[in-house]
Amino acid sequence: MANELIKQGYIISILAIADRFTDVIVKEKRGTPHNNFEILRLPYKEPFIHKAKEWVDTQDPDWLSLQYVPFSFNDRGLHFGLSKDLLEIGKNRKWQIMFHELWVGMEKGSKLKFHVWGILQRFLIKRLLENLCPAVIHTQSKLYQAHLKDLGYRAIYLPLFSNIPNIRKSKSNLPNGKSEKRKEVRFIVFGTIQKNAPIKEFAKEARKFQKEKGIKLKLIIVGRAHAEQELWRKIWASNNLEVELLGELSPPDVSDAMLNSSVGLATTVYPKIEKSGSVAALREHDLRVICVAGAWQPRLNTYIPSNSSIIQYKIGNFNSCLRAALDTQREIPSDISSITAKFIKNLEAGVI
């Protein structure tokens, strides 16, 4: 996004407070010789307020954008005093906050420990909002949007963009149209596979579909090897279905694998699916996504799932999921330039 903001004519700089990837203060430049931006990285567990304020005053920005993740500021996600420090750093300046995360214990039935922990985090977020009075609030999740509304704040939905650029190769070997016209359907799962996904049931229904329709179903797995990945491979293969492990690939090779696939699979729980970078990458490559994930029900009764572009697999609905994934007109993916343009438009409007 930093590079894209520069492309669209804006001057930016980045301040990293509580940076866990350096033990010393680092000043550096990123980008190209003609389009670059400055970065100041302040180490974790070291006082940052004076250096940060000095940096902000030197840069003299029109806007301060806070990328909020509670556990980035404190090991327990309990950042007492943060809002006071940020208020001092950005005194008399406009704030925008992007909420990447909120609090733990959102799930219905979560342990008492996480519920109480979440109440504390919720309190700190409310204090942060009250102190900074952000002119614009964003979030990548409609679940989080509903929670922020419950706190009394209007957050604008700004979707996650892909970190895998689309190399725009054609799908000449995968004809468009209904599944009955196909000889092969290629599922692709990219990145970390979450636990408790109903892969046994999904694979069993896939085997039945392949036998009845005579359409070959292949699973392609991309990403670093881990236990869940091997479990998926074994279950898929045990149902006489073809599976291919591609391992870790370069971004262009990941893009190529996606462009030569038919349907994306994701294992992030459905209410949080919009936060998945893997899903953003699949959608950037014009793939409909089937969510094959464990059960997860939010405590917030007013939240209504509205991920119309994500198809939710439930035991017994494999055929309808696949039909929707192959036959429904695909959405134009949200690319970095259009998302950045929306970001700027929101700042210019200064809406809350």
Q: How do residues 314-328 score in pLDDT, each as one tens digit?
A: 999 999 999 999 876
pLDDT at residue 178, rounded to an integer: 40
For residue 99, the enclosing domain spans 2-161+336-349
More confident residue, 168 or 216: 216
Q: How many domains does the chain have?
A: 2
Residues 198 and 98 in one domain: no
What's this model's pTM, rounded to 2 decimal places? 0.88
Tell me what pLDDT residue 332 has: 56
Res 302: pLDDT: 82
d(CA 277, CA 160): 7
Please, what is the Cα angle at 324 between 321 and 329, to 5 degrees?
155
Q: How many CB atoms lie within 10 A of CB 220?
A: 20
Q: Do 312 and 208 have their domain in common?
A: yes
Q: Residue 55 has which token pair?
A: 């940096």
**Domain co-membership, 112 together with 199:** no
Q: Are both 156 and 11 inside the same structural domain?
A: yes
190 and 60 both lie in a single domain: no
- Please check whether residues 129 and 94 belong to one and the same domain: yes
Q: What is the pLDDT of residue 304?
A: 76
Residue 52 lies in a domain: yes
What mean pLDDT is predicted for residues 323-343?
79
* pLDDT at position 225 over 70: yes
Tell me, what's the pLDDT at 327? 76
| Residues 280 and 345 occupy one common structural domain | no
Asked if the structure places residue 168 within a domain, the reply is no
**Pairing verdict, β 63-68 and 289-291:** unpaired
For residue range 178-192, what is the model confidence (pLDDT) as tens digits? 444 578 999 999 989
CATH of the domain at 106: 3.40.50.2000
- Asked if 287 and 307 count as a contact pair (C-beta separation under 8 A), the reply is no
Give per-residue pLDDT as tens, 269-309: 999 999 999 999 999 898 999 999 999 999 998 887 766 67
259 lies in some domain: yes
Which of 8-17, 23-32, 137-146, 191-200 is least confident?
23-32
- Give the position of tokens 């089937």: 290
Whether residues 344 and 320 fall in one domain: no
Return the percent helix, strand and coil in the chain, to nearest 5.
40, 20, 40
How is residue 88 annotated by DSSP?
H
Q: What's the pLDDT score for residue 329?
A: 57
173 pLDDT band (50/70/90 cuts)? Answer: very low
Distances (CA, A) of 215 to 111, 181, 222: 44, 9, 22
Rounded mean pLDDT of the chain? 90
Q: CA nearest 217: which of 246, 185, 265?
A: 185
Instruction: Report if residue 281 sits inside a domain.
Output: yes
Question: Tokens representing 44?
Answer: 């974790």
**End-to-end Cα, the chain, rounded Å:** 22
How far, in Å, CA of 148 to CA of 139, rounded? Answer: 9
Residue 343 pLDDT exceeds 60: yes
Same structural domain for residues 148 and 100? yes
pLDDT in tens, 70-98: 999 989 999 999 999 999 999 889 999 99
pLDDT of the residue at 179: 41
pLDDT digit string, tens, across residues 47-65? 889 999 999 999 999 999 9
- What was the pLDDT predicted at 333? 56
- Three-state SS at 250: coil
What pLDDT score does 168 carry?
79
**Is 121 found in the same domain as 204?**
no
Q: Do 136 and 188 share a domain, yes or no?
A: no
Instruction: Give backbone dihedrals phi and psi of 265, rounded to 5 degrees, phi first.
Output: -120, 140
Number of H helices, E strands in the chain: 12, 13
Residue 174 lies in a domain: no
CA distance 61 to 96: 12
109 and 190, same domain (yes or no): no
* Lowest-confidence region among 6-10, 148-152, 199-203: 6-10
